[in-house]
Amino acid sequence: MTVALVADAGRVRGLGHVMRCLALAEQLAPRGLDPVFVADLADLPWAVARLAERDLTWVPPGDDPAGTVLGLAPAAAVLDSYHLPESVGHRLRAAGVPVLAIVDGDSRPHPADLYLDQNLGATPDALPGPGLAGLRYALHRADVVRHRPAAPRTDDATPPRVLAFFGGTDPFAAAPVLAGALAATGVPYEATVVAATPELAARVRAVPGPHEVIGPSDELPRLVTGADLVVAASGTSAWELACLGAAAALVCVVDNQEVGYARAVATGAVAGLGRLSDLRTDPSTAVPVLRRLLTDPAERQRLRAAAWHLVDGAGAARVADALAGLIVAVGSPRM
């Protein structure tokens, strides 16, 4: 009972799609399903290691992703991609393979039997077909849920501890920009900055300030819960930060994050730092927000409580149940 998880991945495309599919994959084995990733991970050893730790396998999509998926004789397929052609969904469904498509707001939907939009403010009536919508279905990995505190943290260090990270590849080089904005606040703090590449690490180390620089880490959930303030990119990681009850300040890294970024900031559960393209030109525009967060523990505690209440960490199990039900409802693929 193979389930093919087709996810965007790459140095530029990042790992967000793979990570949320990984959260779903962890829930499939207990339901008698065998997840296999179809993704371009050849140049992403950190992601390959995360799959290996869970005894999960992957295959490259090749020039014919639909053919690759069909070659696995899957009981179902999950499509989490901005780049696959619509023909993939059409071919899979024509072969009798039930398809779950993960979408983000107004992202182009794939032909599917069931849709998932895990984002804040998503509603079922806005989906292109039957589906699951909203943070109730946010996909969180087991290591994230395991570190979710029983209640929002109320203690803070002096000076505050800051964690800054911008995805598994940080393709738009946000780390040195935000390290510079933190340094420009002129107030005490201790920061750990995750640099995705040696080149980015060198650029962060060149920024004056109390910055410890580390590489990509599978210890992020622990680091998040130990930080007083987390500076990160908007996107799928925003909901992981909420699950962990983090006081988070988010930057909008790419255009397709704008809707989710605006909705997240509007809840009052995260602070907004603006668009990375603007900060690259003038990082000082983020300085007042960062200075306030670094000097106001009561505001950080308020953010933690608001974020913690947004999600409960059970979204991946709910989606896995829905996918298992879809397989039963649609039946075995006609190969």
Q: What is the mean pLDDT of each run of 10 residues along the chain (335 residues)?
A: 90 78 94 94 86 92 94 96 90 96 82 93 91 95 94 95 90 94 97 95 95 91 97 88 96 86 92 96 94 98 96 96 92 49
d(CA 150, CA 243): 11
Beta bridge partners of 231: 164, 249
Contact 261, 272 (CB under 8 A): yes
pLDDT at site 7 = 92
| CB atoms closer than 10 angstroms to residue 174 | 23
Is residue 91 within 8 Å of residue 68, measured between CB atoms? no
What pLDDT, on a 0 to 100 scale, did the predictor assign at position 325? 94
Break the chain into its structural domains and give their ranges: 2-140+313-330, 145-308
pLDDT of residue 297: 97
Report the pLDDT value the prediction gives residue 335, as an integer from 0 to 100: 37
The confidence score (pLDDT) of residue 28 equals: 95
Distances (CA, A) of 306 to 89, 229, 286, 289, 315: 38, 14, 22, 18, 18
CA dihedral of residues 81, 84, 86, 87 (deg, nearest 10): -140
* 322, 131 contact by CB (below 8 A): no
Q: Which fold has domain 2-140+313-330?
A: Rossmann fold (3.40.50)
Neighbours of 28 (CB within 10 A): 23
pLDDT of residue 334: 43
- H helix or E strand, kind and range, residue 266: helix 258-266
Separation CA 321–CA 256 (nearest Å): 29
d(CA 224, CA 162): 9
- Rounded Cα distance between 14 and 235, Å, is 11
**Contacts (Cβ under 8 Å, ≥6 apart) of 94:** none
Q: How far apart are CA 321 and CA 311, in angstroms?
A: 18
Superfamily of domain 145-308: Glycogen Phosphorylase B; (3.40.50.2000)
Query: How far is 101 from 135, CA to CA, in rounded Å?
Result: 16
Q: How many angstroms separate the first and last alpha carbons of the chain?
A: 14
What letter does residue 214 receive in the DSSP assignment? Answer: E
pLDDT of residue 331: 66
Residue showing tokens 């009981």: 75
Contacts of residue 68, defined as CB under 8 A and 6 or more positions apart, other chains included, come to: 38, 59, 60, 61, 62
Cα–Cα distance for residue pair 295/324, rounded to 1 Å: 48
What are the beta bridge partners of residue 218? none
Query: How many angstroms separate the CA atoms of 215 and 331, rounded?
Result: 44
